Amino acid sequence: METAEIRRRFIAHFERNGHAVVPSASLLLDDPNLLFVNAGMVPFKPYFLGQETPQWSTATSVQKCVRTLDIEEVGKTTRHGTFFQMCGNFSFGDYFKEGAIRFAWELVTGSVEDGGYGFDPEKIWVTVLPSDTEAKELWHTVAGLPYERIQERGLKDNYWNMGVPGPGGPCSEIYIDRGPQYGPDGGPNADEDRFLEIWNLVFMQEELSAVRAKDDFDVAGPLPAKNIDTGMGLERVAYLLQGKENMYEIDEVFPVIERASELTGKRYGADEGDDVRFRVVADHIRSALMLINDGVTPGNEARGYVLRRLLRRAIRSMRLLGYDGKALPELLPVSKERMKASYPELEANFERITRVAYAEEDAFRKTLAAGTQIFDQAATETKDAGQTRLSGAKAFALHDTYGFPIDLTLEMASEAGLSVDEEGFRALMAEQRERAKADAKSKKGQHADTGVYRGILDEHGPTTWLAYETLETESKALALLSGGAPAASLGAGEIGELVLDRTPFYAESGGQAADAGIIEFDGGRLEVLDVQRPVRGLVVHQVRVVDGEFAPGSALHARVDPEWRIGARQAHSGTHVVHAALREVLGPTALQAGSYNRPGYLRLDFGWTTGLSEAQVRDIEQVSNQALRADLPVSWQYMTLPEARDWGAIALFGETYDESKVRVVEIGGPWSRELCGGTHVDHSSQIGTVVVTGESSVGSGNRRIEALTGVEGFAYLARERDVVGQLTGLLKTQPDELVGRIGDLLDRLKAAEKEIEKVRLAQLLAAGGELAAGAQQVGPVKVVAHRVDGAGGGDVRTLALDVRGRLPQGEPGVVVILGVEDGKVAVVAATNDEARARGVSANDLVRVVGGLLGGKGGGKDDVAQGGGTEVAKVDEALALVVAEVGRVAAG
């Protein structure tokens, strides 16, 4: 029975019994105590708390839920999943215990033909609170359960409350006996793997005045009206009715695992470590799908951080399974197809969902590419030093430099057998936050303490700043600093900070990088490395002595590199042009949220919730270059901030401005009108060109466009032209036919790979007859124990089953194939009916052989699969197979 049908039957059952059908609330229900809806009753809390009056006396729903407290357990157990669906029925002062028990019993045990689930009544157990004799008797009289299958449990298990003063009451849980293969007999009190809880019936009958713990609270008295709140786990019922081992194998989840298996080439069920990763992928893909559908976007806080973590865990799990391609475009559509029967809105919203998800994967792939290599190096260094703990400094470097979130570092460290100094990491994060505050006014300064700069300003007054007027000035030194303190001189190669009375150098601000250039003095030169304004009015140059020994006093000639300034002006004006083009293409809400430009390069961040299409990016580039072709005039003027706002000038987010005087830069009049203190070209054509090279996500609700201008832009286009020329020469085709030709070649390559795979498989199976004919007689059993080099788990399984089918019928037969590939051994054992009748189990053989090979495995008595890493022991393992079969058959 498919999950959607189980869901439909639940709703139909209670609708037939007079319940109002309430659609699932959004996962983002407005509740200050919750990130997400985490239980089926959450949307009904205002009614149970008496804050609102329900419009119905009875209701039913199937509520979407997300829980992430146990995210690390996902895939390791049968019951931990982040997204799940809770089926519930609710009574607000209408029916009570008898009705709740009767409705549940009728649905659970009702025949499939009559709309029920068809569970065997003899397999059902329930638990009740010891003091709730009423519920115990009702289970006996209404459902006919014998008392021995009604077990008692204490307050921690069978009393429900919200954790705060309000309604509470005993509850009763329904369990299904899965059979002796899952654990010992004795009901839920004996084993909760064998006896699986599927439904919890809560009988709200008391008002609690204080709640100190789940089993420690004060009861103020009875509720004015008794209520019912139940929750049936849809996924749990699904895997029971579908005969699956866990929730990851049901029809709404397992197709993602199947697709992941196809992409990675690894078989689900062959290796427990890989199986956990497969289950993480399937669970997290579905959860991300549902979260994005309800409006969550990846980010660094709260809901956005949870979504980002789910997506990145899924992507990384695919990489650990051996798939390096883009995973989400392959997996999200599969999940959508399975979930849309219950949630048809997924189809309508899927374009938006994929824009959000795919952009996050692109960003994370860049992070992984840089950070994984650094992590591996750090882990190796830690182990080589005989330590088991990754330092907080290394974890911080991964976060600060490569964008690795700490939870990813923790996971990777755990997989590498290491712990992480989290306290040290947190301390460094706190220090960074403090530094960021202190450096706000002295960005890139050698010292956060601005006192030394204020002293210079007080003594000499503000720097005469001439960056708009000239590229060269005759200047004199007012102060020289080294290590944050006054210095008498700097020797060759030394770096210090120099304050001039007048300067032509542009100090970094407004997203524009500082000028580069030279300061000449009698007998030597200084290279200008950086220029900053640590305090208002003072320009400080970071310099390195190229020639001679520098000491203040001699006349100085400061000269900006003219090529640098030309490139900087092109890039900064290009940023304004791209911003205007962006708003023309996307609309006026696409506003710049930050920028950076240096000669030949610009990047522009803007608020936008979805990734841009290729067509939109092309349009932005085209509009930009049309503005360059139009040779628009570039001008600037000063005015008050209110005047600038009235004039329609755009002020950038996060910037502070002087109310009395701001500089407004225009390109083409009102087409581009922004507050800006940067350097610019005189006409837009002087930008040369704008070549958009990238568009990506830089956090929740923010995008980034990167582009090249001037000579750098033309050089980029020339390189692309050269690549196209080489490809057209190699393929002997025209440029406009290149894409189609490459597509044809890729299709032919894929077809050839499929044919090669068919031939390879045929060759593998061709050996089946020979292996069967050469079976070794071990007592009454024919045994094939064989090694195949270059074969993985899937091939080994195929061959083992083929050989088993070729063994003589009516005779006991056992086949064990060991495939050796990439330093790993895959083991598959297969037995026929006659061999199993003599006690030979494929599961037992795999466990024995897997243990010898340094691995493990398992399965059923007819077919089992496992593996190991001890390749040198393969021959010993084959001999062990023969000995083990002989021992069992003889017994």
Those residues with Cβ within 8 angstroms of residue 38's Cβ, 6 or more apart along the chain or in another chain: 65, 66, 67
Q: HSE of 516 in the Cβ direction (CA atoms, 13 Å)?
A: 9
CA distance 864 to 181: 16
Q: Which two tokens stand for residue 518?
A: 């030279």
On whether the CB atoms of residues 869 and 854 are closer than 8 A, the answer is yes
CA-to-CA separations, 237 to 51, 155, 213, 525, in angstroms, rounded: 33, 25, 30, 79
557 annotated as a binding-site residue: no
Q: Given this chain, do its domains 3-244 and 772-890 carry the same CATH topology?
A: no
171 annotated as a binding-site residue: no
Those residues with Cβ within 8 angstroms of residue 327's Cβ, 6 or more apart along the chain or in another chain: 260, 263, 281, 314, 315, 318, 361
- With 0-12 / 13-18 / 19 or more C-beta atoms within 10 angstroms meaning exposed / middle / buried, residue 164 is exposed
579 annotated as a binding-site residue: no
Classify residue 732 by its DSSP letter: T
DSSP string, 475-494: E-EEEEEETTEE-S-B-TT-
Which residue type sits at 394? Answer: K
CA-to-CA separations, 490 to 400, 500, 517, 548, 765, in angstroms, rounded: 33, 16, 18, 9, 78
Classify residue 43 by its DSSP letter: G
Local structure of 224: helix, strand or coil: strand
Q: Which residues of 19-31 are buried (b: 16+ CB within 10 A; e: fewer)?
A: beebebbebbbee
- The CATH class that applies to domain 451-560 reads mainly beta
Stated as kind and residue range, the H or E segment containing 658 is none
Fold of 3-244: BirA Bifunctional Protein; domain 2 (3.30.930)
Does residue 103 come out as left (phi exceeding 0), alpha (psi in the -120 to 50 range) or beta?
A: alpha
Local structure of 621: helix, strand or coil: helix
Nearest to 227 by CA among 167, 161, 174: 167
Cβ neighbours, 10 Å, residue 661: 11
CATH for 565-717 (3.40.50.720, 1.10.1060.10, 3.30.43.10, 3.30.980.10): 3.30.980.10
Cβ neighbours, 10 Å, residue 856: 17
- The CATH class that applies to domain 772-890 reads alpha beta
Q: Which two tokens stand for residue 113?
A: 């033909």
Alpha-carbon torsion 52, 56, 57, 63, what sign?
negative
Considering the entire predicted model, what is its pTM? 0.51
CA distance 575 to 602: 6
Q: Which two tokens stand for residue 99?
A: 């009705």
β-strands 124-128, 150-152: how paired?
A: parallel
On whether the CB atoms of residues 479 and 463 are closer than 8 A, the answer is no
Classify residue 850 by its DSSP letter: H
> What does the pLDDT read at residue 658?
56
> What does the pLDDT read at residue 107?
97
Q: Which two tokens stand for residue 517?
A: 């250039």
Q: Which two tokens stand for residue 683?
A: 């006409």
CA distance 141 to 495: 90
On whether the CB atoms of residues 580 and 690 are closer than 8 A, the answer is no
On whether the CB atoms of residues 671 and 580 are closer than 8 A, the answer is yes
On whether the CB atoms of residues 668 and 689 are closer than 8 A, the answer is no
Local structure of 7: helix, strand or coil: helix
Cβ neighbours, 10 Å, residue 508: 18
Nearest to 827 by CA among 845, 806, 839: 845
Those residues with Cβ within 8 angstroms of residue 215's Cβ, 6 or more apart along the chain or in another chain: 154, 155, 156, 159
Local structure of 208: helix, strand or coil: strand
Nearest to 408 by CA among 328, 312, 314, 315: 312
19 annotated as a binding-site residue: no
The domain spans of the chain are: 3-244, 254-432, 451-560, 565-717, 772-890
CA distance 792 to 549: 69
Which residue type sits at 720? Answer: E
CA-to-CA separations, 748 to 264, 325, 740, in angstroms, rounded: 22, 20, 12
Does residue 83 come out as left (phi exceeding 0), alpha (psi in the -120 to 50 range) or beta?
A: beta
Residues of the chain with pLDDT under 70: 30-33, 51, 70, 78-79, 300, 401-403, 405, 432-450, 589, 652-660, 699-701
